[in-house]
Structure 1
Amino acid sequence: MNEPAPGPGWILLRGLVREARHWEGFPERLAQVLQQPARAVDLPGNGVLWREASPTHIDGMVDALRRELNAAGSRGPHRVLAISLGGMVALRWAQRFPDEVECLVLINSSLRGTAPFYQRLRPRQYPRLLMALLLPLSHERRELAILRMTTRLQSDLHGVAKRYARWQREAPVGKANLVRQLLGAARGFPVPQELPGLPALVLTSKADRMVSWHCSRRIAERWGWPLQCHPNGGHDLPIDDPEWVVEAIRQWLSESGLTGRTQQPGGKRHQGEADERSGESTQAKADTQPKQ
Structure 2
Amino acid sequence: MSDWVLLRGLTREARHWGAFDEALVAHGVVGAGERVVCVDLPGNGAEHAHTAPVSVVAMMDFVRERAVALKVRLPCRVLAMSLGGMVATAWAERHADEIERLVLINTSMRPFARLPERLRPAAWPMLARIAITWTQPERCEAMILVLTCNRNDMRDADIARWAWLRRTHGASAAGALRQLAAAARFRAGDERPQCPVLLLSSAADRLVDPVCSARIAKQWRAPHRVHPWAGHDLPHDDADWTCNAIAVWLGEHERTRDIRAASA
Normalising by structure 1, report the TM-score. Answer: 0.83
Paired residues of 2:37 and 2:72 also in contact (CA < 8 A): no
Question: Which deviates further from its counterpart, 44-53 or 7-16?
Answer: 7-16
Give me the whole-angstrom Cα distance separating, in 2, the residues matched to 1:241 and 1:259: 28
> Is residue 218 of structure 1 aligned with residue 218 of structure 2?
no
Partner of 1:134: 132
The Cα shift of 1:116 comes to 1.1
Partner of 1:242: 239
Paired residues of 1:31 and 1:38 also in contact (CA < 8 A): no
Deviations 1:150-178 (A, max 9, x none): 00022131221011000111102111111
> Is residue 16 of structure 1 aligned with residue 10 of structure 2?
yes
2:205 counterpart (189, 208, 213): 208
> Is residue 46 of structure 1 aligned with residue 44 of structure 2?
yes
Give me the whole-angstrom Cα distance separating, in 2, the residues matched to 1:196 and 1:215: 17
Deviations 1:220-268 (A, max 9, x none): 001000010111000000000000000000000000118999xxxxxxx
Give me the whole-angstrom Cα distance separating, in 2, the residues matched to 1:223 and 1:150: 26
> Is residue 257 of structure 1 aligned with residue 246 of structure 2?
no
The Cα shift of 1:184 comes to 0.3
Partner of 1:119: 117
Letter of the aligned partner of 1:13 in structure 2? Answer: L
Question: Which deviates further from its counterpart, 143-152 or 30-39?
Answer: 30-39
Give me the whole-angstrom Cα distance separating, in 2, the residues matched to 1:201 and 1:216: 10
Deviations 1:134-158 (A, max 9, x none): 3355201100100000000221312
Paired residues of 1:139 and 1:169 also in contact (CA < 8 A): yes
1:230 counterpart (227, 241, 250): 227
The Cα shift of 1:193 comes to 2.2
Structure 1: gaps (5+ residues) = 1-6, 262-292
Partner of 1:181: 179
Give me the whole-angstrom Cα distance separating, in 1, the residues matched to 2:249 and 2:39: 23
Partner of 2:60: 62
Cα pair distance change 1:192/1:157, threshold 3 Å = same
Give me the whole-angstrom Cα distance separating, in 2, the residues matched to 1:209 and 1:79: 28
Give me the whole-angstrom Cα distance separating, in 1, the residues matched to 2:257 and 2:155: 37
Give me the whole-angstrom Cα distance separating, in 1, the residues matched to 2:245 and 2:196: 14
Letter of the aligned partner of 1:51 in structure 2? Answer: A
Cα pair distance change 1:139/1:109, threshold 3 Å = same
Give me the whole-angstrom Cα distance separating, in 1, the residues matched to 2:5 and 2:107: 16
Give me the whole-angstrom Cα distance separating, in 2, the residues matched to 1:152 and 1:68: 32
> Is residue 104 of structure 1 aligned with residue 99 of structure 2?
no
| Aligned sequence identity (%) | 43
Give the SS at the match of 1:40: strand
Cα pair distance change 1:173/1:196, threshold 3 Å = closer
Cα pair distance change 1:45/1:136, threshold 3 Å = closer
Paired residues of 1:28 and 1:38 also in contact (CA < 8 A): no
Give the SS at the match of 2:208: coil
Give me the whole-angstrom Cα distance separating, in 2, the residues matched to 1:62 and 1:199: 19
Normalising by structure 2, report the TM-score. Answer: 0.92
Paired residues of 1:253 and 1:259 also in contact (CA < 8 A): no
> Is residue 145 of structure 1 aligned with residue 139 of structure 2?
no
Greater helix content: 2
Give me the whole-angstrom Cα distance separating, in 1, the residues matched to 2:24 and 2:255: 15
Give me the whole-angstrom Cα distance separating, in 2, the residues matched to 1:142 and 1:227: 32
Give the SS at the match of 1:31: helix
The Cα shift of 1:112 comes to 1.6
Question: Which deviates further from its counterpart, 231-240 or 122-131?
Answer: 122-131
Give the SS at the match of 1:131: helix
Where in structure 1 do 4 or more consecutive aligned residues deviate above 4 Å? 258-261
Give the SS at the match of 2:161: helix
Paired residues of 1:81 and 1:106 also in contact (CA < 8 A): yes
